[in-house]
Amino acid sequence: MEILLAIMIGFLYAAGIYMIMRRSIVKLILGIVLLGNGVNLLIFLLGRITKGEPPIIPGTESVIEGLYADPIPQALILTAIVISFGLQSFAIILVKRAYKVLGTDDLDQLNTTDENS
């Protein structure tokens, strides 16, 4: 399972970086989305995939014994998903407004400072 996730992470990173290198600002946002999903999977993979009990210490013991699921990577991923959703929503609205005003989504044309009279 870890090998499959590692291959998927590599694919998401490669596709995200490829999309970021394109000239279209829409493809740039899609690349950032793919890269963010790759990072989320990487954090999930680093937290180890284990099937176990919830990390609750029984009242009779002072330490957790046996296998237990680590909640920290899952909490980090959940937070990252919420933050990336807000960032993606803002970026999509910003691109829509820029396209409406300028009529293009080409980064080279957006970077020019020439004014047409």
Long-range contacts of 49-58 (CB under 8 A, 24+ apart): 49/1, 49/2, 49/5
Give me the CATH number covering residue 23. 1.10.287
Domain count across the chain: 1
38 located within any domain: yes
33 located within any domain: yes
111 located within any domain: no
* 0.95 surpassed by pTM: no
Q: How far is CA 96 from the centre of its chain?
A: 21
Range of the domain at 43: 2-54+67-101
Kindly state the greatest CA–CA separation across the chain.
80
Cα dihedral sign, 31-37-40-45: negative
List pLDDT tens digits, range 38-85.
Answer: 999 998 888 777 776 777 777 888 887 777 777 888 888 999 999 999
CB 40 within 8 A of CB 75: no
